Amino acid sequence: MKPLAEARDEVLAAVHPLPVVEVLLEDARGLALAEDVVATEDVPPFDNSAMDGFAVQRADLNSVPVVLPILEDVPAGSVPSQPLTSGSVIKIMTGAPLPEGADTVVKVEDTSPVGTTEVQISAAPDLGTAVRRAGGDVKRGTTVFTAGTRLSSTHLSVLASLGVAKPLVRRRPVVAYMTTGDELVPASTATLRPGQIRDANTHTVGAILDELGVEGINIGAIGDDADELREALSSAADQADIIITTGGVSMGEYDLVKQVLTELGGVEFWKVAMQPGKPFAFGRIAGTPLFGLPGNPVSVMVAFEQFARPALLKMMGSSALLRPRLRARLEREVSTNPEKIVFLRVALRHDGDVLTCDLSGGQDSNVLSALASANGLAVVPFGTGHVAAGEFVDVEILRLDDQ
């Protein structure tokens, strides 16, 4: 059995960043920048008002209330036609350019109209209040994001405001995935015949790929038949950058993925000293890397996390390949196999200032319900075998939104 770190290094050495392409912002979410983004403009591009109110010279408000004449109105999208002169105000809306000569904005709530041409100002805010300076958010020339940053909605927002409408990114990987097993029927099957189970893995893999920003091609559920599998794998290799299979990589007579993989391309390794996810085959079909994940849904998810996710992120050019880890206090004693690195499905919680975690349910690799309620994978390192209640462990963070 290969240690996890060695197996992952081999996988990572076998995949390479995909070509650089220019994409529209609307197609860029989840992809990683292929170059640093340097601001060629200030954001905001001009001094403007942070409030609906009146642009003033602060020196005119030394004794309030004061009534001052309104020179003009400046809505957002317009520009003032004149500078602000001492002893007068210009009505201004949020986001409208600050008139030359103005140094402060008084919000509308601190004013009241006097006829149609004058306003009474009843508060004297500090000099510079409610003024947003040009470049106050991003200064021209600043490196805003570095190559390898994966673009989330907020990154896209910054790029849009800078006028970077077609960022350079690494192309989106295409992954062909399939499940294997004669026992599998679609999730929509109302009544199971004896021996049948509903296919969970198609949905797990499809959704994980989608969350990662990878394009998935569902090849389908393949029976335990060497010819059918051979054909499906060859077709997958023609269409995709990566192939992912689930099931059929253990020791059983019907575990054909490894056998067909050996025939068609070659198995680079098989069996990793980890739990769950030990039977894991990595190889190539006609040059296309194949991740042969185990069949049990929990093992699928854990093996995907440890191998396929970092490999896909490397292909995307992401600077971060691994999940962030946090230290958390394990709430109960756990004994594991010391010959393996063990990933416990845990739920993270706060106990006062301390981050704690507890098993989210049964830890057998077929127990899906414990996976669904877990938001982290606690790591029991190789050679450890035992964690006492109250000991701190590393937890790979899967999600934080439901912590």
111 binds ligand AMP (CB under 6 A): no
Closer residue to ligand AMP, CB minimum distance, 148 or 294: 294
Please, what is the minimum distance in Å from the beta carbon of residue 248 to Mg ion?
5
Pairing of strands 341-351, 274-275: parallel
Please, what is the minimum distance in Å from the beta carbon of residue 189 to Mg ion?
17
Instruction: Say how far apart CA 115 and CA 46 lie, in whole Å.
Output: 31
Closer residue to ligand AMP, CB minimum distance, 148 or 181: 181
Given 88, 246, 288, 363, the residue binding ligand AMP (CB under 6 A): 246
Residues 229-258 that bind Mg ion (CB under 5 A): 247-248
Closer residue to ligand AMP, CB minimum distance, 281 or 334: 281
Consecutive H or E run containing 184: strand 184-185
Please, what is the minimum distance in Å from the beta carbon of residue 218 to ligand AMP?
12
Instruction: Say how far apart CA 357 and CA 342 lie, in whole Å.
Output: 15
Given 88, 104, 201, 375, the residue binding ligand AMP (CB under 6 A): 201
183 binds ligand AMP (CB under 6 A): yes
Instruction: Say how far apart CA 289 and CA 266 lie, in whole Å.
Output: 10
Cα dihedral: 321, 326, 331, 337 (round 10): 40
Residue 253 DSSP SS3 = coil
245 binds ligand AMP (CB under 6 A): no
| Residue listed under structure tokens 């030990």 | 278
Segment interacting with ligand AMP (CB under 6 A) among 168-176, 292-300, 321-329, 334-342 = 292-300
179 binds ligand AMP (CB under 6 A): yes
297 binds ligand AMP (CB under 6 A): yes
173 binds ligand AMP (CB under 6 A): no
Given 111, 149, 250, 356, the residue binding ligand AMP (CB under 6 A): 250
Residue 181 DSSP SS3 = coil
199 binds ligand AMP (CB under 6 A): yes
Termini Cα distance of the chain: 35
Q: DSSP for 95-158?
A: TSBPPTT--EEEEGGGEEEETTTEEEE---PPTTTTEEPTTSSB-TT-EEE-TTPBP-HHHHHH
Please, what is the minimum distance in Å from the beta carbon of residue 335 to Mg ion?
29
Given 5, 192, 197, 400, the residue binding ligand AMP (CB under 6 A): 197
Closer residue to Mg ion, CB minimum distance, 53 or 181: 181
Instruction: Say how far apart CA 81 and CA 176 lie, in whole Å.
Output: 60
Given 43, 124, 169, 184, the residue binding ligand AMP (CB under 6 A): 184
Instruction: Say how far apart CA 398 and CA 320 lie, in whole Å.
Output: 14
| Residue listed under structure tokens 């509903």 | 198
| Residue listed under structure tokens 């075998």 | 385
Contact partners, residue 276, CB within 8 Å, separation at least 6? 294, 296, 298, 299, 302, 303, 343, 365
Closer residue to ligand AMP, CB minimum distance, 12 or 200: 200
Binding pattern to Mg ion, positions 267-296, x when CB under 5 A?
----------------------------x-
* Residue 236, token pair as written in the block: 């997958």
Q: What is the DSSP letter of 172?
A: P
Please, what is the minimum distance in Å from the beta carbon of residue 195 to Mg ion?
12
What does 306 interact with, of Mg ion, ligand AMP, none (CB < 5 to 8 A by kind)?
Answer: none
Question: Where does this chain bind Mg ion (CB under 5 A)?
Answer: 181, 247-248, 295
Name the site residues for ligand AMP (rule: CB under 6 A): 179, 181, 183-184, 197, 199-201, 246-250, 252, 255, 294-297
